[in-house]
Structure 1
Amino acid sequence: MIRFILSAVFLVAAVPAQAEIDIKEVTSPGGIKAWIVEEPSIPFVALELRFVGGGTLDAPGKRGVTNLMVGLLEEGTGDMDARDFAQATEELAAQYGYRPYDESIALSAKFLTENKDAALELFRKSVVEPRFDQESIDRVREQVLTGIRSDAKDPDRIASLTFDALAFGDHPYGSSMDGTEESVMGLTRDDIVAAHKGALALDRVYVSAVGDITAEELGPLLDDLLGDLPATGAAFAPPVSYQLEGGQTIVDFATPQSVAIFGHEGIERDDPDFFAAFVLNTIMGAGGFDSRLMEEVREKRGLTYGIGTYLIDMEQAQLYLGSVASANDRVMQAVDVVRAEWARMATDGPTEQELNAAQAYLTGAYPLRFDGNAAIANILVGMQMDDLGIDYIAGRNDKVNAVTLEDVRRVAARLMRPEDLHFVIVGQPEG
């Protein structure tokens, strides 16, 4: 019954969408900084931790070790094995999340106020004192290997990994954080322990909390939760240069439908033109059925069920990418249309109607992101990582609406470089 009750709490524990979200900054006695939104109306708390570095911290020859390490955090701690840990989590009606990414590790905890102390202590043990016993290592390793083998048969993953490898070579950006079968098979418990110490450190953590907790409570709580982690972690990945030129790469793969990843270098998040680029991308390919590429490639020509574009801002590189899938006998038509529309946007920019539609879409959809304590906690961590400022939410839609048609056309000419577009096509495209 308690699990059902908690599930209901997760659904309703939300700060009203786009209400005045009162964000406070807290610094613990030990120096850990965090953002908090106090919402005492429901006895529930969402805590989000983000450690910068992620899979890019893998030591040479140990590709996949960070991913494997994070997968083992919920596999037991102290005298509790994986089954004991799962049972304790269930009894506390808590939910924990352990998610590795290319450049970060996301750890989260959601719990009822009445179980706060016990839920946080169990979470602390999993983060700070994981067991890493050999039985769990072998089991989770096999799960990772299964995923790697599955990716080798997935055209979407093949396209993405091929693009990354061509763009970034031997840099961690150029390979999957899952590692290869060979690298994962070679990982030892000592490698995993070293990855834990290198990745989960106080010099790279961002924290947010939303719910039935006060700023006064949060500071000491964070010291108890994270104070035993190392003060500093492993060195971050070195700088990298984008290596792809315009053109196309075909990866032969027996499938009736080809998948294409395309793109070139993008724009930094702190660039003064970022919001104009953000609106531009919505017009071009991120605005769903109202985007230009969806109109030209799907609606007018019926070449695909879906096409989209996205801006990617990484620590060492920025990308402007897109993806499309089409039948082998039509995919090159889709590629030609994308090239033509990329060039047309670079030369002419969008129309005023397209700009107005994109701004209405972006400002109208924004409040829908604030649909629960956990979602808000996740947004707050992202804001800190991007150095957006504590007042960003209140002014974000104003920044979108401030973008003019002249701004978007100017940025389109700067950002969109059709001659630099590179397409990686996985399948058996005709023509």
Structure 2
Amino acid sequence: MTAPIMRRFAALIFLILFSAAPSYAVEIKEVVSPKGIKAWLVQDDFVPLISMRFSFKGGSTQDPNGKEGLANLMTGLFDEGAGDLDSETFQEKLDDVGAEMGFNADDDDVTGSIRMLAEKRDQAVDLLTLAVNKPRFDQAPIDRIRQQIVAGIKSSERDPNTIAGRKFAEVLYGDHPYGRRSEGTEASLNSITHDDLATFHKRNFARDNLIVAVVGSISPEELSPLLDKVFGDLPEKAELETISEAKLAFGQTTRVDYALPQTSISMVYPGVRRQDADFFPAYIMNHILGGGTFSSRIYNEVREKRGLAYSAGSNLVTRDHMAALMVNTATRADRANETLQILKTEIAKMAKDGPTEDELVEAKKYLVGSYAVNNLDSSSAVASTLIGLQDENLGRDYIDKRAELINAVTLDQVKAAAKKLLETDPAILIVGSPQS
């Protein structure tokens, strides 16, 4: 094992051991740099570790037509050379400081993160600054990362669930950007040039569409100049294309016949926006219907009572330009129709009558009590939560008032939410053997 790899391994072990240290109290401070860069900070000096996450609005929906996969390809290249450091040199320096850096693109955002040792903060921030501001997009890394993505695309072309998901997305979203392949196609990826990447980076990485969260051993006074160093020289305003609201194609059934031992069933209903007044009633209703892993109606009817599936449930999905409630399960091919009818029956019951008072009480207890475990149990989890709160404009006091908001929801409000969302004829996807 070479010396750089050994240093990297030792640093990773340190990060793994200490990044999971629980955060028992969350005091969120807003830090504003001299250049106006805002960040939410949770200072925690218990472990000498710093986690930073940031997000730029504008993900794969910003890929130009014919250049699908551009945002995704770009995120694989930020640590492949920046400034005057080529790919190998950049990676060696990242190893030397024991930092973890990563970037990712989803439909609506390009996100980045870095975890670093507090004592190596300045060196790690120097590398992050280069990656954010001066990615090289050299041809050799472009070709290598593109080849990896294309290999993954070719491999997935034989996966029935991937095939079905693509077909369902085309039906559900139509010609909206959400219906495109965020990873691109072989043809679209091969058309992407260095200039395409540089232009996308320049148009999307700006100060007005930036969200930053930091957790760890750093004070507001120390963080402020670092924010300017990393983000202060970015363009003031992003140049994003306007994306319309997605109109989901409810009432359609999509079948993908494939010789599989199990048949997968997905159902899509209207959802609710995070800022909507009826979000928490819908959130509680979904937990009772299918969101509670072992306690929901769908799980009990499909798994516990009949043993038709290993798992069955529902979840609320929110993106910048759509909201939906999705129900999913998988069962034996010869029991698929039975399972689908059970799902429809339980959903119809919830739409007609809503939950019981006892179900409401138990759901509130769980949703209040599980929040810290699911969202605040490590520095990285806290940083991710802070990004989400900022993205949804929920305010720094949200964590403190969340329990009160949940407990204030009435049974009538939950019943109204169930009726509003679940009386729509859903979009359905069935993947499996023709006999199902």
User: TM-score scaled to structure 2, two decimals?
Assistant: 0.94
Match of 2:283 among 272, 278, 281: 278
1:363–1:397 CA contact under 8 A, matched in 2: yes
Match of 2:431 in 1: 426
Larger deviation: 220-229 or 385-394?
Answer: 220-229
1:200-215 to 2 correspondence within 5 Å? 200-215=205-220
1:355 alignment counterpart? 360
Question: Which residue of 1 is the match for residue 391 of structure 2?
Answer: 385
> Which secondary structure does the structure 1 equivalent of 2:247 belong to?
coil
Match 2:126 to one of 121, 124, 127: 121
RMSD across aligned positions (CA): 1.8
Bigger drift between 73-82 and 177-186 goes to 73-82
Alpha-carbon shift at residue 14 of structure 1 (Å): 6.0
Task: Output the CA distance in 2 between the equivalents of 1:236 and 1:384.
Answer: 22
Alignment of 1:25-424 (within 5 A): 25-368=30-373, 369-417=375-423, 419-424=424-429
Tell me how far 1:24 sits from its aligned partner: 0.9
What code does the residue aligned with 1:280 have? M
Q: Which amino acid aligns with 1:407?
A: Q
Query: Cα offset for 1:5?
Result: 5.3
Query: After alignment, is 287-296 or 156-165 more displaced?
Result: 156-165
Q: What whole-Å deviation, never above 9, does each CA across 1:96-133 have from its counterpart, x for those lacking one? A: 12111111111011111111111000111112111111
Q: CA deviation at 1:47?
A: 0.8
Letter in 2 for 1:257: Q
| Structure 1 CA distance for aligned equivalents of residues 360 and 404 of structure 2 | 15
8 Å contact from structure 2 (residues 172, 427) kept in 1 = no
**Deviation at residue 318 of structure 1 after TM alignment:** 1.0
Distance 2:253 2:271 in 1: 18
Structure 1 gaps of 5+ residues are: none
Are the structure 2 counterparts of residues 333 and 247 from structure 1 closer, same or farther at C-alpha, using a change threshold of 3 Å?
farther
Residue range with higher mean Cα deviation, 407-416 or 269-278: 407-416
How many residues align? The count is 429
Task: Give yes or no for contact 1:158–1:426 (8 Å, CA) kept in 2.
Answer: no
Q: Cα distance 1:272–1:227, how it changes in 2: closer, same or farther (>3 A)?
A: same
TM-score (norm 1): 0.95
Cα offset, 1:76, TM superposition: 1.4
| Cα distance in 1 between the residues matched to 2:246 and 2:143 | 36
The code of the aligned residue for 1:82 comes to S
* Bigger mean CA offset, 402-411 vs 336-345: 402-411
Q: What is the CA distance between 1:15 and its match in structure 2? A: 6.8
Partners of 1:357 and 1:236 lie apart in 2 by: 44
Partners of 2:242 and 2:310 lie apart in 1 by 38
Greater shift in the superposed pair: 56-65 or 155-164: 155-164
In structure 1, the residue matched to 2:13 is 7
**Unaligned stretches of 5+ residues in structure 2:** 1-5
Asked if the contact 1:99–1:107 (Cα under 8 Å) also holds between the matched residues in 2, the reply is: yes
Q: Which residue does 2:25 correspond to in 1? A: 20
3-state secondary structure, aligned to 1:20 = coil
Q: What's the secondary structure of 2:346's corresponding residue?
A: helix
| Residue identity matched to 1:388 | L
- Equivalent-residue separation in structure 2 for 1:316 and 1:13 (angstroms): 34
Give the letter for the 1:412 counterpart: A
Which amino acid is 2:96 matched to? E
State whether residues 331 and 429 of structure 1, in contact with CA within 8 Å, keep that contact through their aligned partners in structure 2.
no
Q: Determine what percentage of the aligned residue pairs are the same residue.
A: 40
Deviations along 1:78-111, whole A, 9 cap, x unmatched?
A: 3433232222111101111211111111101111
Q: Deviations over 1:203-249 (max 9, x none)?
A: 21100111111112212111111122222223244213414131411
